Amino acid sequence: MLEVTQIHTEDVSSGVRLSARLACPGTPLDGHDLWFSYPETCRGRLTLSGDPWLAAMLWPAMRLGHDLRIEAPVSPRLLEATDTFMDIMQRWDRESKRIAIVADTASPDVEGGPAVASFFSGGVDSFHTLLKHTTASTPAERRISHLIFAWGFDIDLDNRALHEQVVGHIRESVSALGGSLVACSTNVRKVVPEELAGWQLYHGGVMAALALGGQGVWNRVFIPASETYDCLVPLGTHPLVDPLWSTEAVSIIHDGAEATRIDKVRDWIAKSDVALQHLRVCWENRDGAYNCGACEKCIRTMLNLELAGVLDRCPSFAKPLSYDDVANLRLTHEVQHTLMAQNYETALAVDADPRLIEALRRCLYPSLFSEVRRRFSRKMRRLSERAGSRKGAHGST
């Protein structure tokens, strides 16, 4: 059995920390303290219920095939929804197991805080959700007032320099657009191994845990969508799954799946100087760069901006868009191919530079020759690296 015990809050230098002890003998989780830290403004408003811990540990427990016991009462609504969650996840991952959850149920008349929040990384999806829900016509009950940024998700807790750079941009964005930044952090990726839970399917539960931990601050939390309704794939954040994390106090809402990334850039990002100034999409962060400009996601987003006619107004991409980089970009899974195909279709529709259209065509439909050449180049590069490594080892003896 996987047990979550010793749930408590404690003061830390950054504010207040919600923490629990994990017990699961014979697994990598045993004996670890898992925590979520919140800023000083959240002091006295974090929950000691089992809700965040159910969201955080249900998927790892399913992957282990261990029942889950939580030493705190859990929302009746959340507990009931776990049956559907397990049904979905077992279809997505046949190795996961259905488990029993042992926990008392909490009083259903709990109320959330007054705020409306959204997760915010500074990317296309999060800027889209923020801008869409802060217009003059946005109803008060859906108007975003708080933005949640989590250190420890895509930026390692050891990478303080990049974290400070990113938070600086986000603070400037929040200051310009209005609202409050809720700068959080968590050690979840150090406690729960990637090989156990797999971040691609796990991150939605972790986001829900962070949201539910602060249910005394807000009553509604948006999770920006990364896919559209017609291109849905198994993913940790998903319109089928995100609402299942809701409780009597907090509604979790999957937002933005009606719009493609092209739509989001053209209709929202391109019209916001703040978004263009601070846009951040890179998760590889090669050489510590805010946006490396060379990875698949950077190149794909630069194409979005180019097709919207605003790439030259987006200084967060220091490296110019190279059509050769587009043509030679390797798409490694179906989602990347679908998103790049949207760029290709848009380029055709707006009669873009023929060189760009050709680069996109070569990226999406590489000829047999170019694919063989690419593989040959990679093989020769690996052989050269191995030869250099052996030479270096020989020279050191």
Assess whether pLDDT exceeds 80 at residue 370. no
Angle between helices 76-92 and 199-213 (to 10 degrees): 170
Average pLDDT over residues 193-204: 96
In angstroms, the CA 133 to CA 36 distance is: 26
In angstroms, the CA 57 to CA 4 distance is: 8
Count of C-beta atoms within a 10 Å radius of residue 325: 17
Assess whether pLDDT exceeds 60 at residue 23. yes
Residues above pLDDT 90, as percent of the chain: 81
E strands along the chain, which residues?
A: 2-12, 15-23, 33-39, 68-70, 101-102, 115-119, 146-151, 180-186, 218-224, 251-255
Torsion of CA 28, 75, 37, 130, to 10 degrees: 120
Give the pLDDT of residue 397.
37
Assess whether pLDDT exceeds 70 at residue 393. no
- Tell me the per-residue pLDDT of 221-244, one tens digit each, with 9 for 90 and over: 999 999 999 989 999 999 999 999
- Tell me the per-residue pLDDT of 148-175, one tens digit each, with 9 for 90 and over: 999 999 999 999 999 999 999 999 999 9
Count of C-beta atoms within a 10 Å radius of residue 244: 21
* Nearest CA-CA partner of 44 in 19, 11, 21: 11
Average pLDDT over residues 332-347: 90
Average pLDDT over residues 289-299: 91
Joined together, the tokens standing for residue 67 give 């029942």
Assess whether pLDDT exceeds 80 at residue 265. yes
Average pLDDT over residues 85-94: 97
Average pLDDT, rounded, for the chain: 92
Residue 222: what are its φ and ψ, rounded to 5°? -90, 140
Give the pLDDT of residue 107.
78
- Tell me the per-residue pLDDT of 34-78, one tens digit each, with 9 for 90 and over: 999 999 999 999 999 999 999 999 999 999 999 999 999 999 999
Give the pLDDT of residue 381.
74
Give the pLDDT of residue 273.
95
Give the pLDDT of residue 392.
54
- H or E element: which one contains 363? helix 354-364
